[in-house]
Amino acid sequence: MILPQYDGHCGWYEVLDKVSAFPPVQSNMRVDTVVIGGGFVGCAAARRLAENRPDERVLLIEALKIGQGASGRNSGFVIDQPHKRDLESSDNDLKRKLVTLNRQAIDYLEAQIERYDIDCQWSHAGKYQAAVGPRGEKYLRHYEQLLKGFGENYETLSQQRMQAIFGTDYYSAAIFTPGGTLMQPAALMRGLADNMPDNVQIAENTPVTEISRTDSGFVLRTEQACVKCRQLILGTNIFTAELGFMRDRILPVMTFASMTEPLSDAQMQRFGGELDWGITPADHAGTTLRMTQDRRIIVRNSYRYAHDYNTPQDLLPDLRRRHRVAFDARYPQLGDVDFEYTWGGASSLSGNFETYFGEIEQGIYLSCCDQSVGAARGTISGMMLADMACGKRTDMLRNMMEVSGAPSKLPPRPLLRIGVPMRMAMARYASRSEV
Protein backbone atom coordinates (compact mmCIF):
# COMPACT_ATOMS: atom_id res chain seq x y z
CA MET A 1 0.00 0.00 0.00
CA ILE A 2 1.36 3.44 -0.93
CA LEU A 3 0.93 6.04 1.80
CA PRO A 4 1.44 9.82 1.63
CA GLN A 5 5.01 11.01 2.29
CA TYR A 6 6.15 14.54 3.10
CA ASP A 7 9.36 15.61 1.39
CA GLY A 8 10.06 18.88 3.23
CA HIS A 9 10.07 20.94 0.02
CA CYS A 10 6.69 22.63 -0.17
CA GLY A 11 7.43 26.37 0.03
CA TRP A 12 4.01 27.35 1.35
CA TYR A 13 4.37 24.96 4.29
CA GLU A 14 8.05 25.54 4.97
CA VAL A 15 7.65 29.33 5.35
CA LEU A 16 4.98 29.02 8.05
CA ASP A 17 6.13 30.61 11.31
CA LYS A 18 4.97 27.96 13.72
CA VAL A 19 2.80 24.93 13.30
CA SER A 20 0.58 23.45 16.01
CA ALA A 21 0.67 19.71 16.76
CA PHE A 22 -2.23 17.26 16.91
CA PRO A 23 -1.20 13.93 18.45
CA PRO A 24 -1.62 10.70 16.48
CA VAL A 25 -4.15 8.03 17.43
CA GLN A 26 -2.34 6.11 20.18
CA SER A 27 -5.01 3.91 21.70
CA ASN A 28 -8.16 2.21 20.53
CA MET A 29 -11.12 4.54 20.36
CA ARG A 30 -14.72 4.82 19.16
CA VAL A 31 -16.28 7.91 17.58
CA ASP A 32 -19.43 8.57 15.58
CA THR A 33 -17.80 9.57 12.30
CA VAL A 34 -14.24 9.40 11.02
CA VAL A 35 -13.05 11.70 8.23
CA ILE A 36 -9.86 10.45 6.58
CA GLY A 37 -7.69 13.11 4.93
CA GLY A 38 -7.10 16.67 6.13
CA GLY A 39 -7.33 18.53 2.80
CA PHE A 40 -10.10 20.81 1.56
CA VAL A 41 -12.57 17.90 1.42
CA GLY A 42 -11.70 16.48 4.84
CA CYS A 43 -11.51 19.79 6.71
CA ALA A 44 -14.83 21.00 5.28
CA ALA A 45 -16.48 17.64 5.97
CA ALA A 46 -15.26 17.50 9.59
CA ARG A 47 -16.43 21.04 10.35
CA ARG A 48 -19.80 20.59 8.70
CA LEU A 49 -20.43 17.26 10.46
CA ALA A 50 -19.67 18.87 13.78
CA GLU A 51 -21.98 21.79 12.99
CA ASN A 52 -24.77 19.46 11.87
CA ARG A 53 -24.45 17.18 14.90
CA PRO A 54 -22.96 19.10 17.82
CA ASP A 55 -23.56 16.16 20.19
CA GLU A 56 -21.55 13.65 18.17
CA ARG A 57 -17.79 13.07 18.01
CA VAL A 58 -15.88 13.45 14.79
CA LEU A 59 -12.30 12.27 14.30
CA LEU A 60 -10.29 13.82 11.44
CA ILE A 61 -7.34 11.55 10.64
CA GLU A 62 -4.43 12.78 8.51
CA ALA A 63 -1.44 10.67 7.43
CA LEU A 64 0.90 13.70 7.46
CA LYS A 65 0.46 17.13 9.04
CA ILE A 66 -2.54 19.11 7.78
CA GLY A 67 -1.22 21.47 5.08
CA GLN A 68 1.39 19.05 3.78
CA GLY A 69 -0.92 17.35 1.26
CA ALA A 70 -2.08 18.78 -2.08
CA SER A 71 -4.37 21.27 -0.32
CA GLY A 72 -1.31 23.00 1.13
CA ARG A 73 0.73 22.71 -2.07
CA ASN A 74 -1.44 24.29 -4.74
CA SER A 75 -1.21 27.68 -6.44
CA GLY A 76 -3.73 29.23 -4.07
CA PHE A 77 -6.56 30.12 -6.48
CA VAL A 78 -10.04 29.48 -5.07
CA ILE A 79 -11.85 29.59 -8.38
CA ASP A 80 -15.54 30.37 -8.71
CA GLN A 81 -15.83 29.63 -12.44
CA PRO A 82 -16.60 26.09 -13.66
CA HIS A 83 -13.71 24.05 -14.99
CA LYS A 84 -13.05 24.75 -18.70
CA ARG A 85 -14.79 21.61 -19.91
CA ASP A 86 -17.87 22.39 -17.80
CA LEU A 87 -17.84 25.95 -19.09
CA GLU A 88 -18.03 24.52 -22.60
CA SER A 89 -21.27 22.71 -21.79
CA SER A 90 -24.37 24.18 -23.45
CA ASP A 91 -26.30 23.56 -20.24
CA ASN A 92 -26.41 27.03 -18.66
CA ASP A 93 -28.43 25.76 -15.70
CA LEU A 94 -25.65 23.29 -14.82
CA LYS A 95 -22.99 25.99 -15.16
CA ARG A 96 -24.99 28.34 -12.95
CA LYS A 97 -25.21 25.59 -10.32
CA LEU A 98 -21.46 25.03 -10.49
CA VAL A 99 -20.65 28.71 -10.04
CA THR A 100 -23.14 28.99 -7.19
CA LEU A 101 -21.64 25.96 -5.41
CA ASN A 102 -18.11 27.29 -5.87
CA ARG A 103 -19.18 30.66 -4.48
CA GLN A 104 -20.85 28.93 -1.53
CA ALA A 105 -17.52 27.20 -0.88
CA ILE A 106 -15.69 30.53 -1.04
CA ASP A 107 -18.21 32.03 1.40
CA TYR A 108 -17.79 29.07 3.79
CA LEU A 109 -14.00 29.46 3.78
CA GLU A 110 -14.24 33.23 4.12
CA ALA A 111 -16.61 32.98 7.08
CA GLN A 112 -14.04 30.84 8.92
CA ILE A 113 -11.13 33.10 7.93
CA GLU A 114 -12.98 36.14 9.29
CA ARG A 115 -14.36 34.45 12.40
CA TYR A 116 -11.01 32.99 13.49
CA ASP A 117 -8.82 35.72 12.02
CA ILE A 118 -6.85 33.20 9.93
CA ASP A 119 -3.74 34.87 8.52
CA CYS A 120 -3.47 33.31 5.04
CA GLN A 121 -3.18 36.19 2.54
CA TRP A 122 -6.87 35.70 1.66
CA SER A 123 -7.81 38.30 -0.92
CA HIS A 124 -10.55 39.05 -3.45
CA ALA A 125 -7.91 39.49 -6.10
CA GLY A 126 -9.86 37.72 -8.88
CA LYS A 127 -7.99 35.79 -11.56
CA TYR A 128 -6.10 36.67 -14.71
CA GLN A 129 -5.94 34.26 -17.60
CA ALA A 130 -3.16 35.14 -20.03
CA ALA A 131 -1.74 34.20 -23.41
CA VAL A 132 1.87 34.43 -24.52
CA GLY A 133 1.31 34.23 -28.31
CA PRO A 134 -1.15 33.22 -31.05
CA ARG A 135 -1.81 29.74 -29.65
CA GLY A 136 -2.77 31.11 -26.24
CA GLU A 137 -4.71 33.98 -27.80
CA LYS A 138 -6.91 31.47 -29.61
CA TYR A 139 -7.71 29.74 -26.30
CA LEU A 140 -8.32 33.10 -24.70
CA ARG A 141 -10.78 34.19 -27.41
CA HIS A 142 -12.63 30.91 -26.89
CA TYR A 143 -12.70 31.51 -23.12
CA GLU A 144 -14.01 35.03 -23.71
CA GLN A 145 -16.84 33.67 -25.88
CA LEU A 146 -17.73 31.16 -23.17
CA LEU A 147 -17.81 33.86 -20.49
CA LYS A 148 -19.88 36.12 -22.72
CA GLY A 149 -22.33 33.33 -23.58
CA PHE A 150 -22.72 32.56 -19.91
CA GLY A 151 -23.20 36.22 -18.93
CA GLU A 152 -20.18 36.36 -16.59
CA ASN A 153 -18.31 39.61 -15.94
CA TYR A 154 -14.81 39.91 -17.32
CA GLU A 155 -12.38 42.54 -18.48
CA THR A 156 -9.71 42.43 -21.19
CA LEU A 157 -6.39 44.04 -20.36
CA SER A 158 -4.32 46.44 -22.45
CA GLN A 159 -0.57 45.86 -22.87
CA GLN A 160 0.04 48.86 -20.66
CA ARG A 161 -2.17 47.51 -17.88
CA MET A 162 -0.54 44.05 -18.05
CA GLN A 163 2.90 45.61 -17.77
CA ALA A 164 1.77 47.74 -14.81
CA ILE A 165 0.33 44.77 -12.89
CA PHE A 166 2.59 41.88 -13.87
CA GLY A 167 5.86 43.80 -14.27
CA THR A 168 6.50 42.10 -17.63
CA ASP A 169 5.62 42.59 -21.30
CA TYR A 170 5.80 38.82 -21.86
CA TYR A 171 2.05 38.34 -22.24
CA SER A 172 0.24 39.27 -25.44
CA ALA A 173 -3.33 39.20 -24.06
CA ALA A 174 -5.15 38.66 -20.77
CA ILE A 175 -8.66 38.47 -19.34
CA PHE A 176 -9.59 39.29 -15.77
CA THR A 177 -12.49 37.61 -13.97
CA PRO A 178 -13.29 39.20 -10.61
CA GLY A 179 -14.92 36.29 -8.74
CA GLY A 180 -12.12 34.06 -7.40
CA THR A 181 -9.91 34.59 -4.38
CA LEU A 182 -6.23 34.03 -3.66
CA MET A 183 -4.65 32.65 -0.52
CA GLN A 184 -1.56 31.03 1.01
CA PRO A 185 -2.75 27.40 0.95
CA ALA A 186 -0.69 25.89 3.77
CA ALA A 187 -1.51 28.83 6.07
CA LEU A 188 -5.20 28.44 5.23
CA MET A 189 -5.17 24.68 5.93
CA ARG A 190 -3.39 25.17 9.28
CA GLY A 191 -5.87 27.92 10.19
CA LEU A 192 -8.82 25.66 9.36
CA ALA A 193 -7.33 22.83 11.43
CA ASP A 194 -6.51 25.05 14.41
CA ASN A 195 -10.08 26.32 14.64
CA MET A 196 -12.20 23.19 14.37
CA PRO A 197 -15.35 22.95 16.55
CA ASP A 198 -14.87 21.34 19.99
CA ASN A 199 -16.44 18.04 18.93
CA VAL A 200 -13.81 17.49 16.22
CA GLN A 201 -10.64 15.73 17.29
CA ILE A 202 -7.69 15.82 14.89
CA ALA A 203 -5.07 13.07 14.68
CA GLU A 204 -2.03 13.86 12.53
CA ASN A 205 0.78 11.55 11.42
CA THR A 206 -1.76 8.74 11.45
CA PRO A 207 -2.01 6.87 8.16
CA VAL A 208 -5.03 4.59 7.94
CA THR A 209 -3.86 1.29 6.53
CA GLU A 210 -7.05 -0.73 6.47
CA ILE A 211 -10.81 -0.26 6.58
CA SER A 212 -13.03 -3.17 7.53
CA ARG A 213 -16.77 -3.33 7.94
CA THR A 214 -18.48 -4.64 11.11
CA ASP A 215 -22.13 -5.13 12.05
CA SER A 216 -22.31 -1.66 13.57
CA GLY A 217 -20.00 0.29 11.27
CA PHE A 218 -16.28 0.21 10.54
CA VAL A 219 -12.92 -0.52 12.13
CA LEU A 220 -9.95 1.47 10.88
CA ARG A 221 -6.44 0.21 11.43
CA THR A 222 -3.67 2.73 12.09
CA GLU A 223 -0.05 2.14 13.11
CA GLN A 224 -0.69 2.18 16.86
CA ALA A 225 -4.39 1.48 17.39
CA CYS A 226 -7.81 0.83 15.90
CA VAL A 227 -10.69 3.28 15.58
CA LYS A 228 -14.33 2.21 15.46
CA CYS A 229 -16.98 4.41 13.89
CA ARG A 230 -20.47 4.35 12.47
CA GLN A 231 -19.81 6.41 9.37
CA LEU A 232 -16.82 7.23 7.26
CA ILE A 233 -15.96 10.12 4.95
CA LEU A 234 -12.96 9.79 2.64
CA GLY A 235 -11.17 12.99 1.58
CA THR A 236 -8.09 11.08 0.51
CA ASN A 237 -7.76 12.37 -3.08
CA ILE A 238 -5.51 10.08 -5.20
CA PHE A 239 -4.88 7.79 -2.20
CA THR A 240 -8.55 6.79 -2.22
CA ALA A 241 -7.58 4.01 -4.63
CA GLU A 242 -5.05 2.68 -2.10
CA LEU A 243 -7.86 2.31 0.43
CA GLY A 244 -9.71 0.15 -2.09
CA PHE A 245 -12.16 2.60 -3.70
CA MET A 246 -12.38 3.96 -7.27
CA ARG A 247 -9.25 1.96 -8.12
CA ASP A 248 -9.63 2.06 -11.88
CA ARG A 249 -11.24 5.51 -12.05
CA ILE A 250 -8.70 7.92 -10.55
CA LEU A 251 -5.94 9.27 -12.78
CA PRO A 252 -3.21 10.54 -10.43
CA VAL A 253 -1.40 13.49 -11.98
CA MET A 254 1.32 15.59 -10.46
CA THR A 255 2.24 19.18 -11.21
CA PHE A 256 5.16 21.25 -9.89
CA ALA A 257 5.88 24.70 -8.54
CA SER A 258 8.82 26.86 -7.49
CA MET A 259 8.74 29.82 -5.11
CA THR A 260 11.29 32.63 -5.02
CA GLU A 261 12.72 34.21 -1.92
CA PRO A 262 10.91 37.48 -1.02
CA LEU A 263 11.98 40.28 -3.37
CA SER A 264 14.07 43.04 -1.76
CA ASP A 265 13.11 46.72 -2.17
CA ALA A 266 15.61 47.05 -5.03
CA GLN A 267 14.29 43.92 -6.74
CA MET A 268 10.72 45.18 -6.32
CA GLN A 269 11.69 48.36 -8.11
CA ARG A 270 13.16 46.41 -11.00
CA PHE A 271 10.10 44.13 -11.01
CA GLY A 272 7.92 47.21 -11.44
CA GLY A 273 4.54 45.44 -11.01
CA GLU A 274 1.93 45.08 -8.28
CA LEU A 275 1.61 42.65 -5.37
CA ASP A 276 -1.13 40.03 -4.91
CA TRP A 277 -2.27 38.71 -8.28
CA GLY A 278 -2.37 35.37 -10.05
CA ILE A 279 -2.34 34.31 -13.70
CA THR A 280 -3.52 30.95 -14.99
CA PRO A 281 -2.40 30.02 -18.51
CA ALA A 282 -4.82 30.34 -21.43
CA ASP A 283 -3.32 27.11 -22.76
CA HIS A 284 -3.65 24.62 -19.88
CA ALA A 285 -0.14 23.24 -20.55
CA GLY A 286 1.33 26.71 -19.99
CA THR A 287 2.60 28.36 -16.81
CA THR A 288 0.71 29.59 -13.75
CA LEU A 289 2.26 32.68 -12.19
CA ARG A 290 1.61 34.36 -8.86
CA MET A 291 2.96 37.33 -6.98
CA THR A 292 2.13 37.00 -3.29
CA GLN A 293 1.41 39.70 -0.74
CA ASP A 294 4.82 38.99 0.79
CA ARG A 295 6.72 39.61 -2.46
CA ARG A 296 7.33 36.02 -3.54
CA ILE A 297 6.83 34.91 -7.13
CA ILE A 298 5.48 31.39 -7.71
CA VAL A 299 5.91 29.59 -11.04
CA ARG A 300 3.93 26.41 -11.77
CA ASN A 301 4.12 24.24 -14.84
CA SER A 302 4.84 20.66 -16.04
CA TYR A 303 2.80 17.53 -15.42
CA ARG A 304 3.69 13.96 -14.64
CA TYR A 305 1.65 10.77 -14.41
CA ALA A 306 2.00 10.05 -10.68
CA HIS A 307 1.78 6.24 -10.65
CA ASP A 308 3.88 6.31 -7.45
CA TYR A 309 1.69 9.11 -5.89
CA ASN A 310 4.57 10.96 -4.21
CA THR A 311 7.25 13.27 -5.66
CA PRO A 312 10.45 11.54 -6.79
CA GLN A 313 13.14 13.85 -5.40
CA ASP A 314 15.55 13.31 -8.27
CA LEU A 315 13.12 15.04 -10.66
CA LEU A 316 13.11 18.32 -8.76
CA PRO A 317 16.36 19.85 -10.12
CA ASP A 318 15.12 19.44 -13.70
CA LEU A 319 11.72 20.91 -12.82
CA ARG A 320 13.38 23.85 -11.10
CA ARG A 321 15.35 24.45 -14.32
CA ARG A 322 12.12 24.48 -16.32
CA HIS A 323 10.62 26.97 -13.87
CA ARG A 324 13.76 29.09 -14.16
CA VAL A 325 13.40 29.25 -17.94
CA ALA A 326 9.77 30.42 -17.59
CA PHE A 327 10.79 32.93 -14.90
CA ASP A 328 13.74 34.37 -16.87
CA ALA A 329 11.58 34.76 -19.98
CA ARG A 330 9.18 36.92 -17.98
CA TYR A 331 11.62 38.68 -15.70
CA PRO A 332 15.05 39.10 -17.32
CA GLN A 333 15.51 42.06 -14.93
CA LEU A 334 15.35 39.67 -11.93
CA GLY A 335 18.24 37.35 -12.73
CA ASP A 336 19.51 37.75 -9.14
CA VAL A 337 16.27 36.40 -7.61
CA ASP A 338 16.67 32.76 -6.56
CA PHE A 339 14.06 30.06 -6.13
CA GLU A 340 13.95 29.05 -2.49
CA TYR A 341 11.66 26.01 -2.88
CA THR A 342 10.57 23.58 -5.62
CA TRP A 343 7.90 20.96 -4.99
CA GLY A 344 5.31 18.72 -6.60
CA GLY A 345 1.76 17.85 -5.64
CA ALA A 346 -0.86 15.47 -6.92
CA SER A 347 -4.39 15.88 -8.17
CA SER A 348 -6.99 13.33 -9.08
CA LEU A 349 -8.34 13.57 -12.61
CA SER A 350 -10.68 11.23 -14.41
CA GLY A 351 -10.64 9.92 -17.97
CA ASN A 352 -13.90 11.67 -18.88
CA PHE A 353 -13.43 14.78 -16.66
CA GLU A 354 -16.31 13.74 -14.39
CA THR A 355 -16.08 14.29 -10.64
CA TYR A 356 -17.32 11.62 -8.24
CA PHE A 357 -19.41 12.63 -5.22
CA GLY A 358 -21.61 10.41 -3.10
CA GLU A 359 -22.14 7.37 -0.88
CA ILE A 360 -19.92 4.77 -2.51
CA GLU A 361 -20.97 1.98 -0.16
CA GLN A 362 -23.40 2.02 2.71
CA GLY A 363 -21.98 4.38 5.34
CA ILE A 364 -18.91 5.42 3.26
CA TYR A 365 -19.03 8.83 1.59
CA LEU A 366 -16.37 10.17 -0.72
CA SER A 367 -15.54 12.62 -3.45
CA CYS A 368 -12.63 12.49 -5.86
CA CYS A 369 -11.46 13.46 -9.36
CA ASP A 370 -11.81 17.20 -8.78
CA GLN A 371 -9.86 17.87 -12.03
CA SER A 372 -7.29 19.92 -10.11
CA VAL A 373 -9.59 22.73 -9.01
CA GLY A 374 -10.16 21.29 -5.56
CA ALA A 375 -9.92 24.42 -3.40
CA ALA A 376 -13.54 25.40 -4.05
CA ARG A 377 -14.76 22.06 -5.40
CA GLY A 378 -13.19 20.08 -2.54
CA THR A 379 -14.60 22.43 0.08
CA ILE A 380 -18.16 22.25 -1.24
CA SER A 381 -17.80 18.47 -1.69
CA GLY A 382 -16.71 18.04 1.93
CA MET A 383 -19.59 20.18 3.19
CA MET A 384 -22.13 18.29 1.11
CA LEU A 385 -20.73 14.84 1.98
CA ALA A 386 -21.29 15.78 5.61
CA ASP A 387 -24.87 16.87 4.87
CA MET A 388 -25.48 13.64 2.99
CA ALA A 389 -24.05 11.58 5.86
CA CYS A 390 -26.37 13.45 8.25
CA GLY A 391 -29.43 12.86 6.09
CA LYS A 392 -29.89 16.57 5.31
CA ARG A 393 -31.59 16.96 1.94
CA THR A 394 -31.03 20.55 0.82
CA ASP A 395 -31.07 22.32 -2.56
CA MET A 396 -27.30 22.68 -2.24
CA LEU A 397 -26.90 18.90 -1.92
CA ARG A 398 -29.27 18.28 -4.83
CA ASN A 399 -27.24 20.69 -6.97
CA MET A 400 -24.01 19.01 -5.90
CA MET A 401 -25.35 15.64 -7.00
CA GLU A 402 -26.49 17.07 -10.31
CA VAL A 403 -23.08 18.56 -11.16
CA SER A 404 -21.25 15.33 -10.25
CA GLY A 405 -20.98 12.21 -12.37
CA ALA A 406 -19.33 8.88 -12.91
CA PRO A 407 -15.62 8.91 -13.75
CA SER A 408 -15.01 6.48 -16.61
CA LYS A 409 -13.07 3.24 -16.25
CA LEU A 410 -9.40 3.77 -17.08
CA PRO A 411 -7.19 1.41 -19.09
CA PRO A 412 -5.00 -0.95 -17.02
CA ARG A 413 -2.15 0.76 -15.16
CA PRO A 414 0.71 -0.60 -17.33
CA LEU A 415 -1.00 0.99 -20.35
CA LEU A 416 -1.53 4.24 -18.48
CA ARG A 417 2.16 4.33 -17.58
CA ILE A 418 3.00 4.38 -21.27
CA GLY A 419 0.05 6.31 -22.72
CA VAL A 420 -0.35 9.18 -20.23
CA PRO A 421 3.32 10.33 -20.26
CA MET A 422 3.25 10.18 -24.06
CA ARG A 423 0.16 12.38 -24.23
CA MET A 424 1.68 14.77 -21.71
CA ALA A 425 4.91 15.01 -23.70
CA MET A 426 2.92 15.76 -26.87
CA ALA A 427 0.87 18.45 -25.08
CA ARG A 428 4.06 19.96 -23.69
CA TYR A 429 5.61 20.10 -27.15
CA ALA A 430 2.47 21.58 -28.76
CA SER A 431 2.25 24.23 -26.04
CA ARG A 432 5.96 25.07 -25.84
CA SER A 433 5.35 28.63 -27.08
CA GLU A 434 2.95 29.26 -24.14
CA VAL A 435 5.17 28.04 -21.31
Name the residues that contact ligand FAD, by CB under 6 A. Answer: 3-4, 36-42, 61-64, 69-71, 73-77, 79, 207-208, 235-237, 239, 243, 255, 257, 300, 345-347, 370, 372-376, 378
Q: Shortest approach of ligand FAD to residue 24 CB, angstroms?
A: 10
Please answer whether residues 88 and 145 qualify as being in contact, where contact means their C-beta atoms are separated by less than 8 angstroms: no
Q: Of 267 and 281, which CB lies nearer to ligand FAD in the complex structure? A: 281
At what angle are helices 40-52 and 185-194 packed, to 10 degrees? 20
Strand order in the sheet with 33-36: 200-203, 58-61, 33-36, 231-234, 364-368, 356-361
CB neighbours of residue 293 within 10 Å: 14
Q: From CA 65, how far away is CA 82, in angstroms rounded?
A: 30
Q: Which amino acid is at 363?
A: G
Distance of CA 146 to CAs 98, 212, 284, Å? 15, 46, 16
Q: Shortest approach of ligand FAD to residue 333 CB, angstroms?
A: 26
Listed in order, strand segments (DSSP E) in 237-318 are 251-260, 277-281, 288-291, 297-305
Q: Of 39 and 126, which CB lies nearer to ligand FAD in the complex structure? A: 39
CB neighbours of residue 139 within 10 Å: 20
Q: Shortest approach of ligand FAD to residue 55 CB, angstroms?
A: 26
Please answer whether residues 235 and 42 qualify as being in contact, where contact means their C-beta atoms are separated by less than 8 angstroms: yes
Please answer whether residues 69 and 188 qualify as being in contact, where contact means their C-beta atoms are separated by less than 8 angstroms: no
Q: Shortest approach of ligand FAD to residue 139 CB, angstroms?
A: 18
Please answer whether residues 407 and 356 qualify as being in contact, where contact means their C-beta atoms are separated by less than 8 angstroms: yes
Q: Shortest approach of ligand FAD to residue 286 CB, angstroms?
A: 13
Q: Shortest approach of ligand FAD to residue 39 CB, angstroms?
A: 2
